[in-house]
Amino acid sequence: MPELFIELFSEEIPARMQAGAAADLARLLTAALAELHPADIRTWYGPRRLALAARMAGEVPAAVQSERGPRTSAPPQAVEGFLRKHAAPRESLREENGFLVLERSLPARPAAAVVAGILPDLLRRFPWPKSMRWGGGSAFVWVRPLRRITCLLDGAVVPFDLRQGEDDGHGLASANVSEGHRFLAPGTFPVTDARQWGEELRRRFVIADADERRRLVRGGVEDLAAAEGLAVVDDPGLVDEVAGLVEWPVSMLGRIDPAYMDLPPEVMQVSMRVNQRYFALRRADGSAADRFAFVANVIPDDGGRAIVAGNERVLRARFADARHFWDLDRRVRLEDRLPALDGVTFHARLGSQGARARRIAGLAGTIATALGTDANLARRAGILCKADLVAGMVGEFPELQGVMGGYYAAHDGETPEVAEAIRRHYAPRGPHEAPPTGALAAEVALADKLDTLVGFFAVGEKPSGAGDPFALRRAALGVVRILREGGLRLALRPVLAAAAAGYAELASPEVAEEVLAFVAERLRVQLRGEGARHDVLAAVLGAGLDDDLVRLLARTDAVASVLATQDGANLLAGYRRAANILRIEEAKDGPHDGPVAPELLRLPSERELAAAGAAAQQAVPAALAEQNFTRAMAALALLRAPLDAFFAEVMVNDPQPELRRNRLALLARVRATMNQIAEFSRIEG
């Protein structure tokens, strides 16, 4: 199969857009060239190019095409319009089942003609998140000025251009020419195929493969750091970004001026990352090192001395700005910043950050009381947790909100627990960040997230499909992780009711229950992601929405443990059989949930199941009341043998109506007893 190779060479593409653009190019071409059955599709992307290679058929084979047109009784104008649409003569129509059918033979089309036909339009409608126009007044847009189009099929140029009517498309036309590194190997070179293109680029100081550039970026800075006994602060996003900025990664180390080493390490790291794309380094004890790593895009003649010196000079200026904010912010106590929060909008319908802080403080106190800790301390941390939003450092680096509040609280003489709670109350902000571990920090973090969830649910801003602009799924998952990983026994219903009371004019009585269900669903999604029995959780939730997630998980684990045994599997099978019989019979003349008449238990297996059911009916509620879910499931497991024997010996739908009703009531009692623990009909498999 011939190889199609395309390279789109432009000015620098923003790093954040490169991977998505390569995926879009593959998707759009695969769909547009479906008749040629493209396969073995490979893509490359980097600062100045997108490229794709694929194997495909050499032609679209000849075919006979049929298309149904108007009815035979249609007026002549309709028939003429159909013929004009398809540029077909009247003789090409035939009649079939009361309709006119157009049938024509389509000749084979060479792949080059198909590619040349689809690419101009595909490039004109390419879905960049942002595009620009440049020079000459052409309507053609691209993320940055597009300079060259390489398009080859089996080594030969596929000829096309981007002209459209009077629009010259910047004079862009396909060719077989590419370019290497802008500085290390300027100039063009001819391209024959994907392999030769990649090899020639490497000779011209361009690593075309993004994964290889990532490995070189990460490995280069790690090796330099390790040589000095240091470690690189893990930052996968920065590795990706830098790999999208350089074509030939050259790693270097610089030194931080000692005058700035007393800045908080987070300030130094964020300043280096945001402003300069530098990597922060740590010593073996975890403290900030007085070195930084960066990646250049050139091979220096002097061993890098001039480049390192220039970057050190730039970093001194950046850190001087950071020191200005650090010194200025500490002149004002966090407590004295609280009035300014009333002038900062949290959300147009949810009030100011000041009102939010007051709600969080009250809710943190409620949570602390429920957990048996110091409510006054929780309220103190809660009221101060948003105060750093009006500090200069957070205005410059929003990524540091919370972190700076912790530093400023410590400077103001707040207790270490309060400072840590302020610092960590946003956590966890993603799957890779640990939730806060201290009780006070967990209480404030829970209050922050639950207030957010209730507020946005109250005004109808709920996640829908993939849309979640206010990160409510992340907030709910944060609640789950804090409670689950901290083992916190917290009843969420009263806490959510207290949160809803903070939105008295907005929150309906149903909002708290909606948020609780939303949090429980995030727990189910988390279990599914872990490969755990999320269906068991769904079954347990079917028995009633428990607002204590730790207790809910203990109940789920107990059910899953029993179901994993042979007795549990057989018990589930018996439950399903009983539930199916009841579903069918109750549709006829149900319900059949009345008392069981002992005098109508004629067979030994009936009496055994009745005795076992009565015992379980007593034991299960008692075990649930003591939150001993293992004992409750053990009581249910004793039903397995009697239930098996019952189905083996007893005909439920006995001709005698009173026996039938009694046997259905017996099964209904078993079903009801089991449903106290979980709605077993939701168990999969």
Q: The domain that contains 565 carries what CATH number?
A: 1.10.730.10
**Confidence at residue 107, expressed as pLDDT on a 0 to 100 scale:** 83
**Residues 502, 578: one domain?**
no
Is residue 474 domain-resident? yes
**CA–CA gap between residue 494 and residue 454 (Å, rounded):** 13
Work out the angle at residue 459's Cα, subtended by the Cα atoms of residues 453 and 464, and round it to the nearest 5 degrees.
70
Which residue among 49, 84, 106 closes a domain?
A: 106
**Residues 158, 55: one domain?**
yes
Is residue 36 domain-resident? yes
Is residue 541 domain-resident? no
**Residues 150, 35: one domain?**
yes
**CA–CA gap between residue 599 and residue 585 (Å, rounded):** 22
Is residue 542 domain-resident? no
Nearest to 669 by CA among 588, 591, 605, 594: 594
Query: What's the CATH number where 445 sits?
Result: 1.10.3210
Residues 518-561: tens digit of each pLDDT: 999 999 999 888 888 888 998 998 888 889 999 999 999 999 99
Amino acid at 648: A
Q: Alpha helices of 272-400 — where are they, by DSSP H?
A: 305-329, 334-341, 353-371, 375-384, 392-396
| Domains held by the chain: number | 5
**Residues 246, 196: one domain?**
no
Which residue among 203, 228, 247 closes a domain?
A: 203
Instruction: Note whether 1 and 57 are within 8 A (CB).
Output: yes
Instruction: Note whether 172 and 156 are within 8 A (CB).
Output: no
Residues 169-222: tens digit of each pLDDT: 999 999 999 999 999 999 999 999 999 999 999 999 999 999 999 999 999 999
Is residue 147 domain-resident? yes
**Residues 46, 72: one domain?**
no
Q: Which residue has the tokens 């991977």?
A: 19
Nearest to 290 by CA among 264, 242, 257: 257
**Residues 122, 242: one domain?**
no
Is residue 556 domain-resident? no
Q: What is the DSSP letter of 546?
A: -
Q: Alpha helices of 430-491 — where are they, by DSSP H?
A: 439-458, 472-486
**Confidence at residue 92, expressed as pLDDT on a 0 to 100 scale:** 80
Q: What is the mean pLDDT of each run of 10 residues along the chain (685 residues)?
A: 96 97 97 94 98 94 81 87 83 84 83 95 96 90 97 97 93 97 96 98 98 98 97 96 98 97 96 96 96 97 95 97 97 97 96 97 98 97 98 96 98 97 96 93 98 96 89 96 96 96 89 95 90 88 90 92 90 92 91 92 94 94 93 92 93 93 94 93 84
Domain enclosing residue 247, as ranges: 210-329
Which residue among 171, 203, 235 closes a domain?
A: 203
**Confidence at residue 630, expressed as pLDDT on a 0 to 100 scale:** 92
pTM comes to: 0.83
In the predicted model, what is the mean pLDDT of the chain? 94
**Confidence at residue 144, expressed as pLDDT on a 0 to 100 scale:** 97
Is residue 138 domain-resident? yes
How is the beta sheet containing 279-282 ordered, strand by strand? 231-232, 279-282, 288-296, 250-255
Is residue 282 domain-resident? yes
**Residues 426, 402: one domain?**
yes
**Residues 566, 437: one domain?**
no
**Residues 411, 320: one domain?**
no
**Residues 386, 523: one domain?**
yes
Nearest to 3 by CA among 58, 54, 41: 54
**Residues 403, 421: one domain?**
yes
**Residues 402, 516: one domain?**
yes
